[in-house]
Amino acid sequence: MENNKMLSGPDKKGHWGIFGGRFVPETLIPALLELESAYRKCSHDASFQAELRSILKDYVGRPTPLYEAKRLGDALGGIRVFLKREDLTHTGAHKINNTLGQILLAKRMGKTRIIAETGAGQHGVATATVCALMGLKCEVYMGKKDMVRQAMNVFRMEITGARVIPVETGTQTLKDATNEAIRDWVSSVKHTHYIIGSVVGPHPYPMMVRDFQSVIGKETRRQILKVVGRLPDYVIACVGGGSNAMGIFHPFVRDTNVKLIGVEAAGEGLNTQHHSATLTLGRPGVLHGTMSYLLQDKWGQIQGAHSVAPGLDYPGVGPEHSALKDSGRVHYDTIDDQEALNNGFRFLSELEGIIPALESAHAVAYLHKLAPKLAKGSVVVVNLSGRGDKDVAAVADIFKGQNP
Amino acid sequence: MKTSQNRIQNTFKGLKQKNEAAMIPFITAGDPFTDLTEELAVAMAENGADILELGMPFSDPLADGPVIQAASLRGLEAGMNTHNYLKLVQNIRRQSQIPLVFMGYYNMVYQYGLKAFAEDAVSAGLDGAIIPDLPIEEADEWIAVARRAGLDTIFLAAPTTPMERIERIAQRSRGFLYYVSVTGITGARQELPAELAQNLAMARNHARLPVAVGFGISRPQQVAMLSQVADGVIVGSAIVRLIEDGIRQGVPATALVQRIAGFVRELKQATRYGIKPGQGA
């Protein structure tokens, strides 16, 4: 009963059990109510859905392929591995599924300016891209540290007409970029829509972003049934904020014989201070408008996260993941930096000629942990949430340092 | 149900009889070190502050502008945490009967435990609590435990809040209703919104408790003007800025305390008699 509630949520106020909700300054409440009502209207509006579908097809390139990585499967002892190729979308990651949905919504709400936060820059690029497409003004908050790590994405945002605002407070990463974006929104809420990039933030964002991303799982379900004739045994996705994972998990949540695995970043190790294993080592608390698992100290001060993958470098996680963890429906495990680099990034590049994003490399690397436990012929889907172009310079430096 | 000391209520009653608005300064606990916060609090109480809002530093203060963000960081670096905060309150309470109000983000209260925090807050000598990221929809349990402990729940209303919602917020508030002057975060503003006086008048019509106004207010003239239309005026960033300047200039602690006490005196003066054009800072 309790579990069923967890699987269907959120409730009217945006809760999954104790998780989720709307913990924001009062100034934002009317905007969130307006957004929720606009979103509910659009999700039943045929013309909205038709417009979204058409742009997803012709501009984003959906449906993305479900590709059987046979050499990978053979190398892992004869399992069948299918990669959901979100890396092949326009802009190179799943992020655009969400930014496109939200910008269509923003236009219908009559908003004239868009803001966003970004960590790795993929969400920033996806936001800047749809703003160019729709002719809306765009400003993206990005931690200064991330701007250095992801210089190429800064350029991509700027060339598509966005202004990238460096955030120099706190850890200078995604967490602080999100703080600044919220502060901006508190001041500009009348004409500005805030496109949050993951299944985090106050209600209705976690639900809405999940819904826009669940196109991934809906396609996967259809595709695997067509190719294999049955549902997969496992679906694996990396989890930072958790939007690619929610997107692929959601349409499978009720299929209880499909095991769902979320992979968090163990960074330099779970026994160090430098990881992003929020669900694995955190406790429930409130950050950025939602109740969810958090990396924090005894007093509730938020701790910095670390991962070699900037998109996983976040001390929070989507509230629905917290509920799915507590209900036992999804199993959350971790992969550290070295595993992601060697068993993910390098392994997939060498065996399949596909360079994954460092974030997605965590999900790929998890196959090494899982495969020894599987029977031959087991069917495993991995969400390849993004491509690795953005990471090649950073990874080249790391590999150079390791093999002098 | 325990009855609170009603320090906040009594303060507003007393001021009303004198036809004055409450002067409510804000400082951050532990900025730049705990003993100075204690001295500042007592000095402000002795120099005209009617209620003191004491901020608990948080790592991610998303309703705050740069000045209070920096103060939070200094407080955390000085070792402030919820436990030390309550000890500090105890020390201030020993020296002053000024109503003390907690201002802090929800996660710190939640991690401490809602019930434990409300009870310990009251035993330490706090009278009320402002939690800027806890809107009324999420506050049922907090309201229940705070009422039982005798701690006033002070909620915020903003220029974006519709009147029927202000009514609901006011119903859940005790002590006073915190009216946010601007659509934005904390921090001094050159200009306050033209419609502020009118908004405040409407809010006061809908609230059956005192309404204090805060955010963006930094000058005695603004305080004088707002004292005509609000029951209390909150000044935060402008005072915290004086602390920041003092640190930067290497001003000795005693001189800094005097400087801030003088500013509070000036602000209090403005709530009493108003200020004639051309006077004040």
Q: Is B138 within 8 Å of B110 (Cβ atoms)?
A: no
CATH number at residue B239: 3.20.20.70
Q: Answer yes or no: B53 catalytic.
A: yes
* pLDDT tier at B188, thresholds 50, 70, 90: confident
| C-alpha dihedral sign at A253, A257, A258, A259 | positive
Strands (E), A321-372: 330-336
| CB nearest A27 (choices: B137, B138, B183) | B183
| CB nearest B135 (choices: A29, A183, A294) | A29
> In this structure, is residue B2 part of a structural domain?
no
Q: Is B27 within 8 Å of B85 (Cβ atoms)?
A: no
Ramachandran class of A233: left when φ > 0, alpha when ψ lies in -120 to 50, beta otherwise: alpha
The residue of chain A with its CA nearest to that of B131 is A25
Q: Is B101 within 8 Å of B52 (Cβ atoms)?
A: yes
Mark yes or no for CB contact B111/A285 under 8 Å.
yes
Predicted pLDDT of residue A114:
98
> In this structure, is residue B182 part of a structural domain?
yes
Mark yes or no for CB contact A300/B76 under 8 Å.
no
How far off is chain A from B166, nearest CA to CA, in Å? 10
Residue by residue, DSSP assigns A17-62 as TTEE---S-GGGHHHHHHHHHHHHHHHT-HHHHHHHHHHIIIII-P
| CB nearest A299 (choices: B63, B81, B160) | B81
Instruction: Read off the pLDDT of residues B83-120 as tens digits, 9 standing for 90 and up.
Output: 999 999 999 999 999 999 999 999 999 999 999 999 99
> In this structure, is residue B42 part of a structural domain?
yes
Q: Is B280 within 8 Å of B62 (Cβ atoms)?
A: no
Mutate to test the interface with B, among A299, A302, A303, A314 (most CBs of B within 10 A): A299
Query: At B147, phi and psi to the nearest 5?
Result: -60, -45
Q: Cα separation of B204 and B211, whole Å?
A: 6
Three-point CA angle A275, A281, A282, nearest 5°: 100
How far off is chain B from A298, nearest CA to CA, in Å? 7
Please tell me which residue in B31, B39, B50, B53 is annotated as part of the active site.
B53
Query: Contacts of residue B183 in chain A, CB cutoff 8 Å?
Result: 27, 186-187, 189-190
Q: Is A294 on the interface with B (CB under 8 A)?
A: yes
Q: Is A288 on the interface with B (CB under 8 A)?
A: yes
> In this structure, is residue B195 part of a structural domain?
yes
How far off is chain A from B276, nearest CA to CA, in Å? 32
Three-point CA angle A34, A36, A40, nearest 5°: 120
Predicted complex ipTM: 0.95
* Mean pLDDT (whole number) for B171-196: 94
Residue A271: count of CB within 10 angstroms of its CB: 8
Query: Contacts of residue A22 in chain B, CB cutoff 8 Å?
Result: 135, 137-138
How far off is chain A from B139, nearest CA to CA, in Å? 10
> Does the structure show a pLDDT above 80 at B215?
yes
| CB nearest A299 (choices: B111, B156, B182) | B111
Task: Show the tokens assigned to A76.
Answer: 């892992």
- The 3-state secondary structure of chain B reads CCCCCCHHHHHHHHHHHCCCCEEEEEEECCCCCHHHHHHHHHHHHHCCCCCEEEECCCCCCCCCCHHHHHHHHHHHHCCCCHHHHHHHHHHHHHHCCCCEEEECCHHHHHHHCHHHHHHHHHHHCCCEEECCCCCHHHCHHHHHHHHHHCCEEECEECCCCCHHHHHHHHHHCCCCEEEECCCCCCCCCCCCCCCHHHHHHHHHHHCCCCEEEECCCCCHHHHHHHHCCCCEEEECHHHHHHHHHHHHHCCCHHHHHHHHHHHHHHHHHHHHHCCCCCCCC
Instruction: Read off the pLDDT of residues B66-87 as tens digits, 9 standing for 90 and up.
Output: 999 999 999 999 999 999 999 9
Residue B35: count of CB within 10 angstroms of its CB: 12
> In this structure, is residue B277 part of a structural domain?
no
Q: Which of A224, A241, A1 lies closest to A98 in space, CA to CA?
A: A241
Please give the tally of structural domains in chain B: 1
Predicted pLDDT of residue A3:
46
Q: Answer yes or no: B64 catalytic.
A: yes
Predicted pLDDT of residue A7:
57
How far off is chain B from A297, nearest CA to CA, in Å? 9
Q: What pairing do the DSSP bridges indicate for beta strands A290-294 and A330-336?
A: unpaired
> In this structure, is residue B280 part of a structural domain?
no
Residue span of the structural domain in which B165 resides: 7-271
> In this structure, is residue B214 part of a structural domain?
yes
User: What is chain B's length?
Assistant: 281
Taking only Cα atoms into account, the Rg of chain A, rounded to an integer number of angstroms, comes to 19
| CB nearest B59 (choices: A190, A289, A301) | A301
Query: Contacts of residue B155 in chain A, CB cutoff 8 Å?
Result: 26
Q: Cα separation of B38 and B204, whole Å?
A: 33
Query: Contacts of residue A287 in chain B, CB cutoff 8 Å?
Result: 60, 107
| CB nearest B158 (choices: A22, A26, A288) | A26
Predicted pLDDT of residue A120:
83
> Whole-prediction pTM value?
0.96
Task: List, as ranges, residues 17-46 from A with C-beta within 8 Å of B.
Answer: 21-31
Q: Is A390 within 8 Å of A120 (Cβ atoms)?
A: yes
Instruction: Read off the pLDDT of residues B120-157 as tens digits, 9 standing for 90 and up.
Output: 999 999 999 999 999 999 999 999 999 999 999 999 99
Q: Answer yes or no: A198 catalytic.
A: no
Q: What is the pLDDT along chain A (404 residues), one digit of tens a residue?
A: 344 444 568 999 999 999 999 999 999 999 999 999 999 999 999 999 999 999 999 999 999 999 999 999 999 999 999 999 999 999 999 999 999 999 999 999 999 999 999 988 999 999 999 999 999 999 999 999 889 888 899 999 999 999 999 999 888 889 999 999 999 999 999 999 999 999 999 999 999 999 999 999 999 999 999 999 999 999 999 999 999 999 999 999 999 999 999 999 999 999 999 999 999 999 999 999 999 999 999 999 999 999 999 899 999 999 999 999 999 999 999 999 999 999 999 999 999 999 999 999 999 999 999 999 999 999 999 999 999 999 999 999 999 987 65
> In this structure, is residue B190 part of a structural domain?
yes
Mark yes or no for CB contact B156/A299 under 8 Å.
no
> Does the structure show a pLDDT above 70 at B277?
no
Query: Contacts of residue B61 in chain A, CB cutoff 8 Å?
Result: 179
Mark yes or no for CB contact B137/A13 under 8 Å.
yes
Query: At A227, phi and psi to the nearest 5?
Result: -80, -45
Q: Cα separation of B78 and B84, whole Å?
A: 11
